[in-house]
Every structure is written in C-alpha cells, then in structure tokens.
Amino acid sequence: MNEYIANRMNGIDASGIRKVFDLAAKMEHPINLSIGQPHFDVPDPVKKAANEAVLAGKNRYTPTQGIEPLRNALRKELLSEFGWSDAMERPMLITSGVSGALKLAFAVTINPGDEVILFDPYFVMYKHLTALYGGVPVLVDTYPDFTPKSEDIEKAITSKTKIICLNTPCNPTGQIYTKECLKAIADIARKHNILVISDEIYNFYCYDNKFESMAKYYEKTLLMRGFSKSHSMTGWRMGWVTGPKNVVEKMTILQQYSFVCAPSVAQEATLVALKTNMDDKIADYKVKRDLVYNGLKDKFNLVCPHGAFYAFVPVPESMTATDFVTKAIQNNVLLIPGNVFSSKDTHFRLSFAAKDEDIKQGIDILNSLV
C-alpha cells in the first residue's frame, strides 16, 4: 500500500536481518549467531556515569555538535592516534550513533545520479541511504578474500563517482584492510577527487594486526566511529564524525533540523567510556574468533576473520546461502544469508558475539549440515 508514501522509499525494504529477527522471536531457544551487537553489557563505570548525569540534571538538549568536553576528549584521541598537529581544531560532530552520521553524510553529499562505490559484501545501510537520496550504488566485488583490488576500483569509477564508502574491520566479512590496501584506495580517491567515507565502528575488534585507519592515508576522509560495538552501548546512540570541514559543517546544520543532538546523558557517560579499558573483552572475542575459525575450517572453506565479530562463510556449491540458512534455522541455528549484504547468495554471516557454549553448539550443528 503506497498511499502517502514518497517515491524515494521505492526499493527500500525491511532488511533481511529483520526477517531473521522475526523468525527468532518465534523460536523457543534458538542458538542465535545472527546478532550484530556484543553479548556483554555496558561496563559498570559507564552505567554509573549515566545515572549520575541524569541525577545531575544533564537531561536537556546539548549543543547540536555535542558537548565540548567530549568533542575535545575525542580530538585528543585523534592527536595521539594520528599525530595531527591541528587535531584540537578539527571539526568534530557527535552523532546519534554511526547510523546518524551516515544518514547525515549521505544526505548532505549525494545529488540524484551521483555514484557511490561500495565494496561487495557491504553493510546494508550504505546501499539504502545511497538510494534514498537518488544516488546509484556501484558495487565492487571483493570475493573471495574480501580485499578490494585497485584495478576493480578504477574500472568502477566514472565522472559521476562522488564517494567511496568503506568499512574496516568489515561487517559482514570480518576482514581488515591493510595499510597497502588503504594506500591504494587513497591514491585512486586522490586522483579522482573522491570523498571517502570510512566507517570504523569495529576499530577495537582487531585480533591479529594493528588497526589501520583510512584517515591516516587520505585527507578527504570522513571518519566515523562510535561506542555501540566497543562498549556495547548500542541503545545509547553514540557516534562521532570528523573530516573535511565543509562536509562536517553541513552535517551539523542538518543534525540541527533532524536529530537535534546526540542523547545528552549518553554523551556525559561516553566521557567515562573513553577511559574504560575494553582489552579483556577483545581478548575474549579473539578466543571466540578462534573457536569459530578452527571449528568450521575443515568443512567450510572460510577466510579467517581478522576483525569485527563476524565470519563470512561459503556454503557448499550445491545450494544457495538462503537455502543453507533456512536449513540451519530449521536446526535451531540463526544466521544471516549473504544476499542481505551482497549481490551474491553464496555465503552466510555468522556472528560470534555470543556465549562460547552457543558458538560450540552452533558449530557442531553447522558441520552436521554438510
């Protein structure tokens, strides 16, 4: 029923992930390996800080760009990570999650017909936000190792290419872009004067190598990070963005007329989150990653995930991923079929943001299906 609905909503459907969630709601005790958020709770000091903020009356609108102490604390992090001498003067917008930053970024940059390069498999939101503003998603295939190749990116570029949108560590593949890969993307973007959106929401989750940021290699990077995954604050809606001044300024103007500001209480508590070490949780997730990779590698030809909390696993060639996931769900294991994130339906996404017992049971069931 399309009464009242704007044309821009054509083609934007409930994500396949929602469909799996709806199925999960009907199952009694599913082994849920489909979840996109950490399985642990927000650290206690952060909860305490939020409580104190409420009681101290920090319940009102904040400035649109976010509270100054948080913006400065984040700029200090930029200074220590990137060594930027102008870090303390950089634009810094606190957003309602990275989703909020993405929505604003696409809204202020995309004209109808503009092309946005996405690396397939991609995080679903990028494709839909591109389409919402009349842009055209141009997919660059990164199978089988999920690393974009320079020649493929060059081939995808036209006079209409405005943005390359990347995500490292990547949802859904769990891959991390190496320094060489980021430098190659930077060279191409610089040559064609393209804006790069770098979604680094999983930057804490790196198991084998040091995390490398696109912002280190390309000056026109719109860098986005948040606290949903690092501190499990998914419901608190905390993200931030820095990058080219004109773009962040327009995003700030649009935030004023949309989200208004990121949640005030969460902003106060994030000051404490920034000081809360999460290394033990990341070490715990590395053990989970090992469990998944070692548990599945004999029967499934998967690439070892080096980051985030997902494995992107190929199904046997005789079936589609949707068929395989249906079979897994019938056997009580919830997964997401790859076609939710890709033009192909050859892999499933397994999230290891789950209890070790669930992961082990899930692995046994999946192995029994092939």
Nearer to ligand PLP, 147 or 167 (CB): 167
- Give the CA radius of gyration of the chain: 20
CA–CA dist 17, 325 (Å, integer): 12
Q: Segment near ligand PLP (CB under 6 A), from 96-104, 150-158, 252-260, 357-365? A: 96-104
One residue of 167, 213, 342, 351 binding ligand PLP per CB under 6 A? 167
Assess 123 for contact with ligand PLP (CB under 6 A). yes
The greatest distance separating any two alpha carbons of the chain, rounded to the nearest whole angstrom, comes to 61
* Contacting range for ligand PLP; rule: CB under 6 A; set: 94-102, 182-190, 321-329, 362-370: 94-102
Binding mask 249-288 for ligand PLP (x = CB under 6 A): ----------------------------------------
Q: Which is nearer to ligand PLP, 226 or 307 (CB)?
A: 226
**Position 97 contacts ligand PLP (CB under 6 A):** yes
Beta carbons of 255 and 61 less than 8 angstroms apart: no
- Among the listed residues 286, 339, 344, the one whose alpha carbon sits nearest the alpha carbon of residue 124: 339
Q: Pick from 296, 348, 298: which is nearest to 327 by CA? A: 348
Min dist. Cβ of residue 323 to ligand PLP (A): 25
Residue closer to ligand PLP, measured from CB, 91 or 226:
226
Residue 169 C-beta: closest distance to ligand PLP, Å = 9
Indicate the residue among 129 and 138 with the shorter CB distance to ligand PLP.
129
Q: Is the dihedral of CA 217, 221, 227, 229 positive or negative?
A: negative
Inter-CA distances, 322 with 22, 140, 338, 365, Å: 16, 22, 8, 17
The interface with ligand PLP within residues 169-208 (CB under 6 A) comprises: 171, 199, 201
Query: Using CA atoms, how far apart are residues 274 and 266, in angstroms rounded to an integer?
Result: 12
SS3 204: coil
Eight-state DSSP code of residue 166: E
| Adjacent-strand bridge partners of 225 | 240
Spatial strand order of the sheet with 336-337 comes to 310-314, 347-351, 336-337
CB closer to ligand PLP out of 295 and 313: 313
**Binding of residue 38 to ligand PLP (CB under 6 A):** no
Of 3-11, 24-32, 95-103, 134-142, the segment contacting ligand PLP by CB under 6 A is: 95-103
Measured CA angle at 168 (ends 346, 13), to 5 deg = 55
Scanning the structure block, which residue is given the tokens 């499990």?
232
By CB under 6 A, name the one of 38, 239, 307, 337 that touches ligand PLP. Answer: 239
Binding interface with ligand PLP (CB under 6 A)? 36, 97-99, 123, 167, 171, 199, 201, 226, 228, 234, 239
